[in-house]
Structure 1
Amino acid sequence: MANKITKSFVDNIPFPDTGQNFYRDTELKGFGLRVGTGSKVYFAEGKVDNKTVRVTIGHHGVFAPEQARTEAKGILGMIARGINPNDADKAKKAKSVTLAEVYTAYLKARNSLKPRTIQDYDRCMKAYFEEWQTKPLAEINKDLIERKHREIGERSEAQANLAMRFMRAIFNFALGQYEDSAGNPIISDNPIKRLSQTRSWYRVERRQTVIKAHDLPAWFKAVNSLPDIAIGRNKHLAKDFLLLLIFTGLRREEGLALQWKLVDFKAKTLTIPDPKNRQTHTLPLSDFLFNLLEARKAQNKIDAAEKGEDESPFVFPGTGEKGYMDDPQKLMKKVIEISGVQFTPHDLRRTFITIAESLDISAYALKSLLNHKMANDITAGYIIVDPERLREPMQRITNYLLNAMEQKKND
């Protein structure tokens, strides 16, 4: 319907019972009014590349007809120049998107990230990029990145590199997610490249600490003494947890979150269903590990019965939200204090790896024991590893550890 759009005309238009009615202005071609069941909205429309483009101006009441007409002239001028105003508006919004908004979108897109990974990302955002969160991503340039990297590096070079690797992932995501009206990325280049171009990445040596063979007896004795000399409900659990790590090479969180349903006493195996590399990991249990877990299972049942509770599904139960024991840092410090041996949970994994390598275990068996990917090895892609093939090397590692700890060797 064509009419001159005036205030009195718009005021008198009735709302339809269903659908929408369109009224187009007789004086300004492309200016119109859309009337729905409860709204009256001004718009401008025209063609760009032979496609009709309609742009909403605003509601009647918020805009008077003459105000809307003035807005429409500007929009129609853009259309006449072949510019799609909707694309321009989208580009404007894209250029103003903040770091916090991009990070939220990144987490939503990467919905398979592990909770621990998200916690690490959140901590990184808060610790190093708090003041940037409301800043448009397009304003975070190479100079800012270089200064921030240097600033963090004054406290920790390793953390500076880690923070910038995280930021590189955010920018790479944004490069493919946010575009201008021509379909070009709002960020033409990842500013983190500056660190490579100027060779500003810090040289951080990979941590190589392990428990040396001559320190194993003191460490083993201190770990086994925890139930007698430590305080707290987790002292028995912590002992078995630390032994599990050094005799399996599992990562800290893999050990803490281990569930009984993943321990097969009949087959003498344990399985990590969702490890760091997403490849299900099944390990054979050496005799020592089998006895350790069997005793832990029995003790968990006794502990649960004494408390009048159901048995926990976790090998190392806890009282927190996760259901399993928190990282026993205080008890680890007690072991360090008694033994004089400094270590971290990952040092136990490195100790397992170092011993396995020293026993001339085949490269494929070693990688399988550690669940390391062999992406560039074509032959490895054809090898299906049966846990039973790993049982003999697993027992050899256990024997070596027990012998080094001055314990009776398992045969």
Structure 2
Amino acid sequence: MRKSANGEGTIYKRKDGRYEARITVGRTEQGHPRRISKISRKRKDVSDWLSEQLAKRNAGDLTEPSRVTFAGWVEHYHASLTVRPNTMDDYHKALAPAIETLGHVKLRELTPARLQAALNEWTKKRTAYQNRKTVKRLRATLAEAERLELIVRNPARTLRLPKTEAQQILVWWAEEAQQVLAYARANDHRLFPFLHVNLVTGLRREEMLGLRWQDVDFEHHELHVRQTITFIAGKADIGEPKTPKSRRTVDLDEDTINVLRTWQSRQQLERQLAGDRWQHTDLVFATPVGKAWAETYLAKVFRSVMEAAGVPRIRLYDLRHCYASIAYEAGVPLKLISDRMGHENIAFTLKTYVHSSKRMRKATAWSASRLFGSAVDRVMAAEGGEGNVAVMLPSKGKKRQDAS
């Protein structure tokens, strides 16, 4: 064991071979030392952690656990995370009702009953989906506090989640997609190229907004997904694709290449008209002065196009569902659809994005003779003729050898 003088903490080797570092951060109401600790197989890990905690304590950032409020812990925990800005924004939004209701409460005074009562109240004002996200973040946030021994146990672990109904995703089918595109093209609508590209590639909304002309290879009929744009508090945030699989190359057909060439020519004209006001973002889908399209503006214009075209109203993000479902119905192999959409596996694509049309469901309603006709014909041929066929079932006393 190594003991440090003047309350600088300790590091020692446990019986299981791992190293543990401890530091005193205050005292209990009874006057006993209040400590936090870290365990690792590597001595360097605990040594680095101890140095970090000492620096925080000396700077006044390491508060005695009994005095830490829930809001204070959330702020401290979030500051320690390394995540994308839009992900952090989602975390803040998910925990907002918890901070508003319980932010002033001492971390150690949070109980399952107190959290459940708060969740029951949130259920009256928020959707089940929103509450599930809040509970998920609560559990993760308080699990870290439990790991650091700021609390004895995670009070969010036993929360009873509100029931959620499966969200019904409405998608356009080939005829409706064609109807929207025909309207937008006939009216020379600036949303036409966006809709066309989205419906034939299945790109995510943030990938569409982040697409640059340097990412479009006209010669080889490809586009490359290399950056995204999301909006946080109304401000555009440029980032990396969602996952390594999301950084991909998407093949384009001749018609889509022509659509993009025409749109590029129009944008060059807008650039001349904008003059000094033009912003050199290189974005494919931009405003008349080159700025990124704001999501709120895009959604508003999208609604007006749907209404004018006379098609069912869907969300902007549902265009991705439309692509997957239309492509699947058209017979495109599921593996190719999944790769094109930047998914890690086919099962996720099939479960989440591929929806069945009424036409597809009708096609499965085959008659018995169509389903089993060939089998019946083989049995009849084996019996040596036509007429009634007796199908022999296995006897109770004999197991089928081909059972799986």
Instruction: Decide: shared fold, TM above 0.5.
Output: yes
Mind listing any 5+ residue stretches in structure 1 that lack a counterpart? 1-48, 57-74, 180-184, 228-234, 378-411
Aligned-partner Cα distance in 2 for 1:169–1:187: 13
Which residue in the other structure is 1:313 paired with? 282
Aligned-partner Cα distance in 2 for 1:310–1:271: 22
User: What is the number of residues matched between the two proteins?
Assistant: 287
Cα gap change, 1:340/1:307 in structure 2, threshold over 3 Å: closer, same or farther? Answer: same
Paired residues of 1:300 and 1:311 also in contact (CA < 8 A)? no
Aligned-partner Cα distance in 1 for 2:177–2:139: 41
| Pairing partner for 1:341 from 312, 323, 335 | 312
Which residue in the other structure is 2:342 paired with? 371
Shift of 1:126: 3.2
Per the alignment, in what secondary structure is the counterpart of residue 292 of structure 1? helix
Paired residues of 1:99 and 1:132 also in contact (CA < 8 A)? yes
Does residue 158 (structure 1) correspond to residue 158 (structure 2)? The answer is: no
Cα gap change, 1:326/1:140 in structure 2, threshold over 3 Å: closer, same or farther? Answer: same
Cα gap change, 1:261/1:123 in structure 2, threshold over 3 Å: closer, same or farther? Answer: same
Shift of 1:311: 4.5
Cα gap change, 1:287/1:171 in structure 2, threshold over 3 Å: closer, same or farther? Answer: farther
Name which one, 1 or 2, has greater alpha-carbon Rg: 1
Cα gap change, 1:86/1:348 in structure 2, threshold over 3 Å: closer, same or farther? Answer: closer
Which residue in the other structure is 1:268 paired with? 221
| Pairing partner for 1:283 from 244, 250, 271 | 250
Per the alignment, in what secondary structure is the counterpart of residue 193 of structure 1? coil
Aligned-partner Cα distance in 2 for 1:293–1:108: 42
Which residue in the other structure is 1:247 paired with? 200
Aligned-partner Cα distance in 1 for 2:345–2:288: 38
Aligned-partner Cα distance in 2 for 1:170–1:319: 43
Letter in 2 for 1:257: G
Q: Give TM-score scaled by structure 2 length.
A: 0.61
Shift of 1:318: 4.1
Shift of 1:356: 2.2
Shift of 1:215: 2.7
Shift of 1:290: 1.3
Which residue in the other structure is 2:292 paired with? 324
| Pairing partner for 2:322 from 351, 362, 368 | 351
| Pairing partner for 1:102 from 66, 73, 98 | 73
Which residue in the other structure is 2:119 paired with? 149
Cα gap change, 1:168/1:86 in structure 2, threshold over 3 Å: closer, same or farther? Answer: closer
Aligned-partner Cα distance in 2 for 1:114–1:302: 35
Aligned-partner Cα distance in 1 for 2:34–2:221: 67
Paired residues of 2:338 and 2:346 also in contact (CA < 8 A)? no
Paired residues of 2:335 and 2:346 also in contact (CA < 8 A)? no
- Superposition misfits of 4+ residues, deviation over 4 angstroms: 82-92
Shift of 1:304: 0.8
What does the per-residue CA deviation read over 1:100-141, in whole Å, with 9 as the maximum and x for residues that have no partner?
333333333332x22222222233333553232333333332
Does residue 361 (structure 1) correspond to residue 332 (structure 2)? The answer is: yes
Cα gap change, 1:209/1:85 in structure 2, threshold over 3 Å: closer, same or farther? Answer: closer
Which residue in the other structure is 2:158 paired with? 194
Shift of 1:352: 0.7
Letter in 2 for 1:51: K
Which residue in the other structure is 1:219 paired with? 180
Aligned-partner Cα distance in 1 for 2:255–2:113: 56
Shift of 1:319: 8.3
Letter in 2 for 1:186: L
Paired residues of 2:223 and 2:250 also in contact (CA < 8 A)? yes
Letter in 1 for 2:177: L
Cα gap change, 1:226/1:118 in structure 2, threshold over 3 Å: closer, same or farther? Answer: farther
Shift of 1:349: 0.6
Q: Output aligned runs, 1:227-238, within 5 Å.
A: 227=188, 236=190, 238=191
Aligned-partner Cα distance in 1 for 2:97–2:258: 44
Per the alignment, in what secondary structure is the counterpart of residue 249 of structure 2? strand
Aligned-partner Cα distance in 1 for 2:216–2:150: 51
Per the alignment, in what secondary structure is the counterpart of residue 64 of structure 2? helix
| Pairing partner for 1:93 from 55, 61, 64 | 64
Which residue in the other structure is 1:299 paired with? 266
Aligned-partner Cα distance in 1 for 2:291–2:123: 37
Aligned-partner Cα distance in 2 for 1:325–1:211: 23
Mind listing any 5+ residue stretches in structure 2 that lack a counterpart? 9-23, 38-53, 227-239, 349-404
Per the alignment, in what secondary structure is the counterpart of residue 300 of structure 1? helix
Which residue in the other structure is 1:64 paired with? none
Paired residues of 2:201 and 2:323 also in contact (CA < 8 A)? yes
Shift of 1:84: 5.6
Paired residues of 1:245 and 1:255 also in contact (CA < 8 A)? yes
Identity of aligned residues (%): 20
Aligned-partner Cα distance in 1 for 2:128–2:36: 42
Shift of 1:52: 5.0
Aligned-partner Cα distance in 2 for 1:124–1:313: 34
Aligned-partner Cα distance in 1 for 2:346–2:181: 36
Aligned-partner Cα distance in 2 for 1:175–1:375: 37
What does the per-residue CA deviation read over 1:75-119, in whole Å, with 9 as the maximum and x for residues that have no partner?
9xx9xxx976776998972343333333333333332x2222222
Cα gap change, 1:118/1:207 in structure 2, threshold over 3 Å: closer, same or farther? Answer: farther
What does the per-residue CA deviation read over 1:290-323, in whole Å, with 9 as the maximum and x for residues that have no partner?
1222222222211111211364311122489x94
